[in-house]
Structure 1
Amino acid sequence: MERTTISRRGLIASLAAAGSLSLAACANDTSGGGSAGSASSSGTYRIGVLQLTQHAALDASNEGFIAALDDAGISYEADQQNANNEQSTCTTIASTFANDGVDLILAIGTPAAQACLNATTEIPIVGTAITDFAESGLVESNDAPGGNLTGSSDMTPVADQISLLTQLVPDAAQVGLLYCTAESNSEIQIQMAEEALDDAGLGHERYSFSSTNELQTVVETMVGQVDAVYAPTDNTVAAAMAQVASTADAAGIPTIVGCDTMVEDGGTASYSINYRDLGYRAGEMAVQILTEGADPATMPIEYLEAEDCTLIANQASADACGVDLSVLDAPEIV
């Protein structure tokens, strides 16, 4: 895979190209050599960015992170790498960052963070777009991470999203829960959704898959079996949201999803955090580590507040599924 080092001014234009990057080789030494508060002899911090895959939410997190660095006025070079949703590629990229001894790693998505943590116990790692750091085994606890990794969580208001489903689809009796089994954070959100659906007295069934190749078949299986679909902030579903929405809309099945970008890509509605804000929060944490010597071990995982969430709906999907958006209180319509 060709590696690309991107200055802070050139990042945004390069994000679309990042998905096509690949690494040619990986060195064997993955112990890591970076340290908090250090920079190269040029006075420029070297930051490795490992993004799990390319879709709008993760792209927005990436942009927000870079914006926070820019606003802080620090000098840096960001080596942007995209694993194209391949765990083996995450491992290779993370090992290369560790071998290069970058000053800090940004890991976007749980599998990316897991790969980075396996690659180095010394280089500070900031994760983002991760639902539960502790449940995913990334930290000792969300309040006291205890190692070289911290970050910002994309824990969404799952119970509120299920409430939104009942509001928009009041006659729903059976809900399909769509997620990828390879993503531990999706499992956490699915469990939360099941609890909320039980409280609402709605039936539900899991429709899971292990790879992108299985997704379309699983979505087609739901047709005729469910009255609505709930999909959490699952990276595999999000990357293929247009495809999922096309099938669901054609069958008249509303899709309540985990984030705003999934609505923009065809989902019916969501009560969502803002992923650019989430990435910005991670960037602020990175600046503290790089310039103030903050220790990831003692930096609690950070969350966006409920007031930072946005109610958003897709008019075309609502029309296709016979959903009346007028019952919502001032949603953002796309």
Structure 2
Amino acid sequence: MRNNWKKALIAVFGATLLLSACGTSSGGSTSAGEKEKVYKIGVTQIVEHPSLNAAYDGFKKALEDAGIKAEYDPQIAQGDPTANTTIANNLVSSGVDLIFANSTPSAQAVASATKDIPIVFTSVTDAVSAELVESMDSPGGNVTGTIDNHPDAIPNTLKFLKEELGAKKVGMVFNSGEANSRAQVDAVKELLKEMDMTVVEASVATSADVKQATESLIGKVDSLYIITDNTVVSALESVVSVANEHKLPMMVGEFDSVKRGGLAAYGFEYYDIGYEAGQMAVKILKGESKPADLAVQVPQNLKLIMNEDTAKALGLSIKDEWKAEFSE
């Protein structure tokens, strides 16, 4: 009888352990749930235009592909510096896990607002000159990301303007208050000194100024070069209309501007640099790396694309070597 009692007690004790183990297993699912943490990502973007939007799409896809669950708080400054600063401060005070800064002004604003929250940028031309990082290889702070400035893009564009289009006076419309743009214009001017070509500048403060600034170049230039200036690109159709009216060939800084009427660009997909920025964010969120240790990345796969309709409207004969890819 006593043996039966002992057996019963053991059976009850075993069942208790089994239930306890099930409880531990349930606790394990809570642990697994922690792995499924939903991160809060703040997003700041200076203006709305296709290239920046594509970079944002690429960023989100990289996190999705890595299995990162995230809630995004996207805010667009619409080119307003005051709104840009306000957005930065709001994102910092909201306690996000990471900030995705899409453009140079956006990145500068959030970098000034916090030294603690990780910041990953893209669509930035010169991260060092913009004082976002100490160096490309060793960012050194809470900021890193991907730039939109391939080292061969500007030289190839200027060579095309001179050798293929016979340009001598290049008109450039840009926002001089944007560090991204000033750096590109200065690089163009420096290179053109060696090519017996000159730049004629037209500065704007807002997208509303773009058409008038472009018109001010008529009669002074034989071509246009529209760099990756957020203010101007957001109003690119104004430049295209002036260029078309006066039969001015217009080189641009990125592919979406070709699709919108620019003649050609040496560039890359902004989706790709956004995706690469997203991959960097994944490493930071998983605790595998810190921004200070993640080298700033340069875009890959530079290539020429052309707008065939624009080329035909300008009376240009399409050479075989130009036909690597045409815009749709």
Please give the range of the TM-score, normalised by the shorter of the 2 chains: 0.7 to 0.9
**Deviation, structure 1 residue 206:** 1.7
Alignment-mate amino acid for residue 57 of structure 1: S
Report what 1:210 is aligned to: 205
Q: Measure the CA separation in 2 of the matches of 1:174 and 1:87.
A: 32
**Deviation, structure 1 residue 41:** 10
1:222 aligned residue (217, 221, 241): 217
Q: Measure the CA separation in 1 of the matches of 2:169 and 2:36.
A: 60
Equivalent residue runs for 1:150-229 within 5 Å: 150-156=144-150, 157-170=153-166, 172-229=167-224
* Cα distance per residue 1:115-161 (max 9 Å; x no partner): 11121111000010001111011112222111111100001311111
1:97 aligned residue (83, 91, 95): 91
Of all paired residues, the percent bearing the same amino acid is: 37
Q: Measure the CA separation in 1 of the matches of 2:171 and 2:246.
A: 14
Report what 1:295 is aligned to: 290
**Deviation, structure 1 residue 81:** 1.3
Match status 1:315 vs 2:308: yes
Q: Contact 1:168–1:327 at 8 Å: present in 2 too? A: no
Alignment-mate amino acid for residue 168 of structure 1: E
In structure 2, the residue corresponding to 1:332 is in which secondary structure?
coil
Match status 1:332 vs 2:328: no
2:273 aligned residue (278, 281, 286): 278
Q: Contact 1:252–1:322 at 8 Å: present in 2 too? A: no
* Cα distance per residue 1:57-105 (max 9 Å; x no partner): 1001000001101110111111111111111111111111111111000
Q: Which runs of 5+ in 2 are unaligned?
A: 1-32
Q: Which runs of 5+ in 1 are unaligned?
A: 1-38
In structure 1, the residue corresponding to 2:265 is in which secondary structure?
strand
Q: Measure the CA separation in 1 of the matches of 2:320 and 2:215.
A: 29
Distance 1:233 1:40, change over 3 A: farther
In structure 1, the residue corresponding to 2:323 is in which secondary structure?
coil
**Deviation, structure 1 residue 42:** 7.3
**Deviation, structure 1 residue 323:** 2.6
Report what 1:48 is aligned to: 42
Alignment-mate amino acid for residue 139 of structure 2: P
1:132 aligned residue (123, 126, 133): 126
More off after superposition, 310-319 vs 283-292: 310-319
Report what 1:36 is aligned to: none
Alignment-mate amino acid for residue 144 of structure 1: S
Match status 1:60 vs 2:43: no
Alignment-mate amino acid for residue 135 of structure 1: S
Match status 1:253 vs 2:248: yes
In structure 1, the residue corresponding to 2:135 is in which secondary structure?
coil
Alignment-mate amino acid for residue 289 of structure 1: I
Match status 1:69 vs 2:82: no
TM-score (norm 1): 0.84
**Deviation, structure 1 residue 204:** 2.2
Report what 2:238 is aligned to: 243
Report what 1:15 is aligned to: none
Alignment-mate amino acid for residue 260 of structure 2: D
Q: Contact 1:250–1:320 at 8 Å: present in 2 too? A: no
**Deviation, structure 1 residue 324:** 2.7
Q: Measure the CA separation in 2 of the matches of 1:268 and 1:48.
A: 35
1:119 aligned residue (97, 113, 123): 113
Q: Measure the CA separation in 2 of the matches of 1:94 and 1:40.
A: 28
Which structure's CA Rg is the greater one? 2
Q: Measure the CA separation in 2 of the matches of 1:325 and 1:221.
A: 30
Q: Contact 2:79–2:206 at 8 Å: present in 1 too? A: no
Q: Measure the CA separation in 1 of the matches of 2:34 and 2:247.
A: 56
Report what 1:83 is aligned to: 77
More off after superposition, 66-75 vs 187-196: 187-196
**Deviation, structure 1 residue 231:** 1.5
* Cα distance per residue 1:42-64 (max 9 Å; x no partner): 72111011111110110010000
